Amino acid sequence: MTRSSEPSRVALLGFGTVGQAVARILSSGEVPEVRLTHIFNRNVASKRADWVPSSVCWTESAGDILASDADIVVEVVGGLRPAYDWVRGALEAGKSVVTANKQLMAHHGPELLDLARARGLEVRFEASVAGGIPVLRALQEGLAGDRLVEVRGILNGTCAYILSRMQSETIAFADALAEAQARGYAEADPSEDLDGADAAAKLAIIAAVGLRRPVRVGDIATRSIRPIEPVDFLYARELGCTIRQIARASAEDSGAVFAAVRPALVPLTSGFGRVEGNQNLVTVRGVFGGETSFSGSGAGGSPTAVAVVSDVLSVSRGAKGESASAPVETAFHDVSGDFVAPHYVRFTVNDKPGILAQVTTAYARYGINIEGVLQLPKFRKDRLPFVTTLEECSESVLDRALAEVARSDFHVQPPLSLPIFS
Amino acid sequence: MTRSSEPSRVALLGFGTVGQAVARILSSGEVPEVRLTHIFNRNVASKRADWVPSSVCWTESAGDILASDADIVVEVVGGLRPAYDWVRGALEAGKSVVTANKQLMAHHGPELLDLARARGLEVRFEASVAGGIPVLRALQEGLAGDRLVEVRGILNGTCAYILSRMQSETIAFADALAEAQARGYAEADPSEDLDGADAAAKLAIIAAVGLRRPVRVGDIATRSIRPIEPVDFLYARELGCTIRQIARASAEDSGAVFAAVRPALVPLTSGFGRVEGNQNLVTVRGVFGGETSFSGSGAGGSPTAVAVVSDVLSVSRGAKGESASAPVETAFHDVSGDFVAPHYVRFTVNDKPGILAQVTTAYARYGINIEGVLQLPKFRKDRLPFVTTLEECSESVLDRALAEVARSDFHVQPPLSLPIFS
């Protein structure tokens, strides 16, 4: 599509929080280059909004959108089906697509980009990662002259909210989760957020775009933030740290690709340690340019809508993105979650003599060096939390050592290990 | 230029630090889409490097570059002349231009973009602001769907280095400057950096691209960091702050445009307070998306070269930037530096009774509310620094109040006022 005097025609698939925010911006008069022409949603009668221009055609049939004269289809319904069929259908009908759908792009991105390129169309998906922060464009275009080798991010607002509340209020995980749910920051079933699947989908997209290493979402190792307790924030603070869910991926010179999503210790004074609420932060490292960071609103209707509308404008202006430029790598890479890092391990034990000796002996057997032991006073002896900090070791080796330690009878609950990121 | 199987041909004007770093990336095999074909520099014989492909044509004549078959000219010589003539010449010869030249773009940006658009060419200038951070692209494209109303940035690495050294080592300004010069972080004549002209040029570019408000560089109010003393960091710390040179611009709903570069108090725990060395940080605020921040290496050959090469790749791939998309606003806006903010004012006095009464009376006369008075112990009475912190007031009103106070005979040196940014 090339720039002409006629505005591009935009059809909206979905009129929820993000869809409404997109329609607000397109109806504000701020973007005369594009015109909203169609809105699809189930049960249109209850959705119809009086601030939408009367020229807009409302429909309950996605087929109407695919058969329309719209130039660009915006998909903000989310989920894999039927979104996948609609996006394919739009491309097959000669329409470029802008989507906010992380699951769709994480699972089917390479295929959809390939289809778009074959037809001279665009698929843009900035809004699928890190809400309003234009990080994909930065990775893909602004840092195109570099070779990016590592990405670290806080990509899930629900986890950032819960962990920052646990940090500042010293409240239990369950209470912080209930508060997040009451405020609408966490869903009734928060598993995707808490256990890492949401961040893993975003990380898969970033790995494909930024590191040029497509990986299967299901291959990305994840660990939940559920086992984190208030005492972990106490011990973390002793180490100058706090705890956040960190998504991390790297492309090694050897060709190996690492990716994982898990809670980790991060310095209180670092950018990661300062992320709260729905903020997202992404840091990338390139071989020529060093570290570059991007932060802003990672969720919310309006910030996400800014990303959608910016993509719509790019397509309308005829800019060429991923799908139109270099061929997309469609083969998935093998990926390991076995990062090497210093670690924090918290044990909760029914105290008796000899426990530390057993733990340190197990570490020694696996060649793991202890950096320090922390035991704050005033805990109950029959439920005593203490922490070992470890020099750099691979997670898999540490897991084997901890599996051995876990066989002892002094544990009140399983040991918790967290990498420490500097 | 559209993507074809032939690599784009790139000519390099300038082979200093940035030029060499650009040549390194283009010679690395990482970017097969473009080919370095020409290098211009004075005294080529002493510059010729053996790692540059032998196919590259070296020349001491800029005319050779303009007459060459290069598709894209990269200008990294810097300064207004002759860079301006060469860039115009390149556009008139049908070549797109990528430049790292902040003075050129701050002074002649709208005109050059206009010329490029008229000829269907591109002028890209990401490297002119914030080194390796792709902030212009983010403002122009990634946040195109928002209306940006405010920008704040740390845009000068020399000031950030000097101020962070004064903060951490409690050394005098002159010593920090000498250290910066010895390490190559400050030039022999550091006036452009210290007094704000360098950051003002970058701010002018950001205002034009991000706020869509071109302003004349010379109209941007600047204040030097030279009057900052170690005692200011002591008092700032009492307020939970440190001091950095901040470039700030805003576009008000009324149409008024504000822009200024000056030292300011920023919270120690904020992103701005944590910037050190050659890091740059830019925060923008949009009406829809809220705040988004970008940070990374603001200087250095390799980061800057990443920005240049990324721009070259964009042009080569046929992406449309500022010059090819919306018409550029070429009329300059009036601009005021009279921001309203809480303020810090440090007096250095030969102590005697009644000084504070005189100061506070003058503030009262101008309707300025005092928030607090700070006087740390153990200073000499005949050279006593004390601080007043003020509630929000406009800088011009404060300046008038301070001019009145300055007439008294108790001053050992003029009062120093700094805005406090939260």
> B373 has which bridge partners?
B388
C-beta of residue B208 within 8 angstroms of C-beta of residue B110: yes
Range list for CATH 3.30.70.260 in chain B? 340-419
Are B134 and A141 a contacting pair at CB < 8 A? yes
- Overall average pLDDT of the A91-120 stretch: 95
Are B302 and A317 a contacting pair at CB < 8 A? no
- Provide the percentage of residues in chain B whose pLDDT is more than 90: 87
Q: Which positions in chain A touch B306 (Cβ < 8 Å)?
A: 143, 145-146, 286, 288-289
The pLDDT score that the predictor gives to residue B3 is 44
**Quick check: B324 pLDDT over 60?**
no
Query: What 3-state DSSP class applies to A235?
Result: helix
- Fold of the CATH domain B340-419: Alpha-Beta Plaits (3.30.70)
Q: Which positions in chain A touch B317 (Cβ < 8 Å)?
A: 320, 324-326
The pLDDT score that the predictor gives to residue A407 is 93
d(CA A260, CA A396): 13
pLDDT band at B5 (very low <50, low <70, confident <90, very high): low
Are B325 and A317 a contacting pair at CB < 8 A? yes
- Provide the percentage of residues in chain B whose pLDDT is more than 70: 96
d(CA A240, CA B62): 55
d(CA B235, CA B347): 12
d(CA B232, CA B344): 10
Token pair belonging to A291: 């570290």
pLDDT band at A331 (very low <50, low <70, confident <90, very high): confident
Range list for CATH 3.30.360.10 in chain A? 135-298
Supply the mean pLDDT for chain A: 93
User: Mind telling me how many Å the CA of B79 is from chain A's nearest CA?
Assistant: 24
Q: Which positions in chain B touch A297 (Cβ < 8 Å)?
A: 289-292
Are B293 and A290 a contacting pair at CB < 8 A? no
Torsion angles phi and psi, residue A105, rounded to 5? -75, -35
Query: What 3-state DSSP class applies to B64?
Result: helix
Of A142, A291, A311, the CB nearest to B138: A142
pLDDT band at B393 (very low <50, low <70, confident <90, very high): very high
- Overall average pLDDT of the A239-249 stretch: 98
Supply the mean pLDDT for chain B: 93
Are B132 and A292 a contacting pair at CB < 8 A? yes
Of B286, B292, B320, the CB nearest to A319: B320
d(CA A422, CA B159): 26
Q: For B86-131, write each residue's pLDDT tens digit.
A: 999 999 999 999 999 999 999 999 899 999 999 999 999 999 999 8
CATH class assigned to B135-298: alpha beta
pLDDT band at B320 (very low <50, low <70, confident <90, very high): low
Q: Distances in Å between the alpha carbon of B326 and those of A20, A165, A196, B144, B207?
A: 26, 44, 41, 11, 16
d(CA B53, CA B27): 7
- Overall average pLDDT of the B172-180 stretch: 96
Of B147, B274, B295, the CB nearest to A30: B147
**Quick check: A154 pLDDT over 50?**
yes
How long a stretch of residues is chain B?
422
C-beta of residue A218 within 8 angstroms of C-beta of residue A159: no
Q: Which positions in chain A touch B132 (Cβ < 8 Å)?
A: 143, 146, 289-290, 292
The pLDDT score that the predictor gives to residue A101 is 96
pLDDT band at A3 (very low <50, low <70, confident <90, very high): very low
Chain A residue nearest residue B310, CA to CA: A145
The pLDDT score that the predictor gives to residue B1 is 42
Chain B residue nearest residue A132, CA to CA: B289
Range of weakest confidence among A324-328, B40-44, B320-324: A324-328
Angle at A198 (CA atoms; ends A194, A199), nearest 5 degrees: 90
Are A292 and B290 a contacting pair at CB < 8 A? no
Chain A residue nearest residue B304, CA to CA: A289
- Fold of the CATH domain A8-128: Rossmann fold (3.40.50)
C-beta of residue A275 within 8 angstroms of C-beta of residue A165: no
Question: Which of B117, B152, B266, B288 to substitute to test the interface with A, most A CBs within 10 Å?
Answer: B288
Chain A residue nearest residue B137, CA to CA: A142
- Overall average pLDDT of the A247-274 stretch: 95
User: Mind telling me how many Å the CA of A318 is from chain B's nearest CA?
Assistant: 7
User: Mind telling me how many Å the CA of B127 is from chain A's nearest CA?
Assistant: 10
- Please name the residue that has the structure tokens 């778009």: A116
Are A293 and B295 a contacting pair at CB < 8 A? yes
The pLDDT score that the predictor gives to residue A322 is 59
- How far is CA A219 from its chain centroid? 15
d(CA A272, CA A275): 5
Range list for CATH 3.40.50.720 in chain A? 8-128
Torsion angles phi and psi, residue B286, rounded to 5? -115, 155
Are B303 and A288 a contacting pair at CB < 8 A? yes
Q: Write down the pTM of the prediction.
A: 0.93
The pLDDT score that the predictor gives to residue B2 is 44
B197-210 and B102-118 helices, crossing angle to 10°: 30
Of A134, A302, A319, the CB nearest to B143: A134
Question: Edge-to-edge strands of the sheet including A340-349?
Answer: A370-374, A384-394, A340-349, A411-419
- Please name the residue that has the structure tokens 């030249």: B101
pLDDT band at A323 (very low <50, low <70, confident <90, very high): low
Of B142, B309, B318, the CB nearest to A320: B318
pLDDT band at B326 (very low <50, low <70, confident <90, very high): low
Q: Which residues of A are catalytic?
A: 202
**Quick check: A319 pLDDT over 70?**
no
Are A307 and B21 a contacting pair at CB < 8 A? no
User: Mind telling me how many Å the CA of B137 is from chain A's nearest CA?
Assistant: 7
User: Mind telling me how many Å the CA of B27 is from chain A's nearest CA?
Assistant: 12
User: Mind telling me how many Å the CA of A320 is from chain B's nearest CA?
Assistant: 5
Q: Which positions in chain B touch A147 (Cβ < 8 Å)?
A: 30
Q: SS3 breakdown of chain A: % helix, strand, coil, rounded to 5?
A: 35, 25, 35
- Overall average pLDDT of the A97-106 stretch: 96
Are B310 and A271 a contacting pair at CB < 8 A? no
Tell me whether 0.85 is exceeded by the ipTM: yes
Are A138 and B142 a contacting pair at CB < 8 A? yes
Q: CB pairs below 8 Å between A and B: how many?
A: 180
Q: Which positions in chain B touch A300 (Cβ < 8 Å)?
A: 290
Token pair belonging to A350: 């029914």
Chain A residue nearest residue B271, CA to CA: A271
Query: What 3-state DSSP class applies to A418?
Result: strand
